[in-house]
A and B are shown apart, each in its own frame.
Chain A
């Protein structure tokens, strides 16, 4: 073979490989060239969202065609339009609620924490001397109303990013608007597991979700304590509807499907729950799990204990607010719940935050405040690196995948969905106080 023949062969081979789309695959469909798209199927995928092996869906029966949310699955398409320039100040949004809204107790904590974080950051000079400014859009208690708020953030307030609403019924709607308006959204208190399972690459969540809480509760209640007859009492709203899904599935996968799932209306008083309490007593339960807002859960506990229901009660994260103890009174004793924030944890970040928050607002911060402050600190750290521009900011957040970030909540462990997989913390009500621990409390 001469030198030029060799060159010819090389060129021909290279050309063939580059332009070879028509390799017959199964059923006669040719195989396309590959490149840009990473395959979603993997022979040995990492466990999704730290799912315990025994809780993984369908694993006893078969393997799925494809698995999503593999590492680095987010793709932020290129933008071709110039970014907004923030010269006078940098608006940051909060989709909150007004006083009459059932989730006001959460949104006011987020508002305070954001105010504190912004004041601190502005005291340090903002971003190169440009101060940050908080803009609050108060969403009406109507399903769908958050879409208008998300549009206002884009077209009226022109925010750099915003902190989304606590309820999935609002935040899903807002997130889809963000896909079109290309505005990053931080989640600091919505616990719906499906919120980060949409593949929309404009979202980061710092708090734990109900998948993690559900797994923790079921492993404790069913596997550790050995309860077999389990019931759920939950709010008839999106928090309850989506919150219990993973717990319910996990109970079934462990061979102990729920005996009963009852609902109560949002804002139900203890005196309105007599019939549900009777039904629960007749169900012969060994454990009951509550998935309701703090005040509702307090009313439920009062109704249960006043009605003679003596079975151990476990709660999801919205139980861990002072409003619960205030409403339930003595009926709260012994309730065990899950959360991601331990205010008693000794840690310089947490100590400093707790002191500053208490000094500024005259009350100790609870989980929602700590989460929102955490989100803001993560955001400011990212902006400092990439500047106050929406797409670079989101790119900066995407780089946090797989990282461990120390915060007032503890160490964030952000997975491929930019969702936090840090360990769950436990709480037990003892003598009218929340007692925190890193492991489930003894029965």
Chain B
């Protein structure tokens, strides 16, 4: 009978393994509510999202929509910009401006006023805008033909491309910064770091130089093809279609779907750290928007928060997290009770700095031929 029981157990194990859910990350730590067409979205494909003063702004494939409280989503008309895809949204929390990057130009929305900047009426280098970030007195814009920097108080534009910076390619897909450093994610050009103090650019490439492989772990950005970047004042987080990397000014770390920490997928569209989320009382997290769902990193492992949907963007305010996906907008709240303010979390304090368990460097030893 004992042998029979062992056999039964083994069979059950095999059976359970074969029917286990297709879960790449650890179990979700947030509870999620989905907002779809029934809430006023014109389509489910939502490419960008931002929260400002409790309002959820959703950048869909058919224009910008806003949701205030329990009211349904309402269209935000962006001047002469047609009904188009909104690829990036970022709020300037000092001026309360909402900056909107579209396939047809840049817009600034604030209390009903909308200003539109295009490649024909301003210094914007290209109308196809993949990323933007209000940084101090500037707004940085990553476009399909280089980066533009706009100073709203003076109206001054500057352009960065292959002619005046070490931009290997000109296709900029993300930008994020502080008043010290600005990071650009450049497709085929790795990460570019701009130092405000010196005005000098510095490049970071995947050192192995090959697209079809990753030679060593933690040796630089996972790939020269970068899809986005975020900078939380301490760490630059870099998304690629070959994994996710971080750079703290001294060393690079990398996470992959097969490296054991639970990354949902190597195909990461976007990444964002919530370290500077205003009013946050829960611990800091870093988020990865992938083609297989939303990953959430606690410094050690990745939980799979939203599964089986492509995620494009994520944003935060207070302890709320909102995600833009191919299946509408998701709103998340932490399952665990929030830490007391200033104890385990709290924006801007040193305690708030997430402790990262450095992944082990893997790769076989180099041999002498």
Contacts and interface: CB of A to CB of B under 8 A. Distances in A.
A29 B301 contact: yes
A34 B262 CA distance: 8
- Dominant SS at the B interface? loop
A155 B144 contact: no
Interface stretch (A122-130, A171-179, A378-386, A421-429): A171-179
B8 to A, nearest CB: 5
B348 interface: no
A155 B9 contact: no
A261 interface: no
Nearest to B84: A155
A21 interface: yes
Interface in B242-269: 242, 256-258, 260-267
A85 interface: no
A32 interface: yes
Given A21-B27, A147-B128, A151-B128, A62 B13 contact: no
Residue among B17, B128, B241, B357 with max Cβ neighbours from chain A (10 Å): B128
Contacts of B9: 9-10, 13
A66 B265 contact: no
A198 interface: yes
A68 to B, nearest CB: 5
A411 interface: no
B128 to A, nearest CB: 4
A13 B327 contact: no
Interface residues of B, number: 95
B291 to A, nearest CB: 5
Given A77-B291, A194-B188, A58 B171 contact: no
Contacts of A21: 26-27, 262
Interface residues of A, number: 71
A151 B20 contact: no
A442 interface: no
A348 interface: no
Nearest to A39: B258
Interface string B37-75: 000000111010000000000000100000000000000
A307 B11 CA distance: 79
A362 interface: no
B24 A80 contact: no
B241 A200 contact: yes
Given A144-B146, A177-B103, A180-B47, A66 B256 contact: yes
Contacts of B225: 197-198
A48 B258 CA distance: 19
Contacts of B308: 78
Contact of B241 (A142, A144, A198): A198
Contact of A61 (B25, B82, B309, B369): B369
B291 A75 contact: yes
Contacts of B170: 143-144
Given A25-B260, A65-B362, A78-B308, A176 B367 contact: no
B215 A26 contact: no
A419 to B, nearest CB: 11
A68 B212 contact: yes
A155 B256 contact: no
Interface string A317-338: 0000000000000000000000
Interface in B1-51: 1-2, 4-5, 8-9, 11-13, 15-17, 20-27, 43-45, 47
Contacts of A37: 24, 257-258, 263-266, 292
A27 B359 contact: yes
Contact of B326 (A1, A10, A80, A198): A80
A79 to B, nearest CB: 6
A26 B360 CA distance: 7
B13 to A, nearest CB: 5
Contact of A172 (B27, B104, B187): B187
A100 interface: no
Contacts of A194: 188, 211
A147 B144 contact: yes
Nearest to A82: B43
B85 interface: yes
15 contacts: A9-B12, A10-B8, A13-B16, A29-B300, A29-B301, A35-B21, A36-B23, A61-B369, A62-B366, A65-B214, A67-B213, A77-B326, A80-B328, A155-B84, A199-B242
Given A13-B12, A14-B15, A77-B310, 7 more contacts: A9-B9, A37-B24, A65-B215, A75-B265, A77-B326, A155-B103, A173-B171
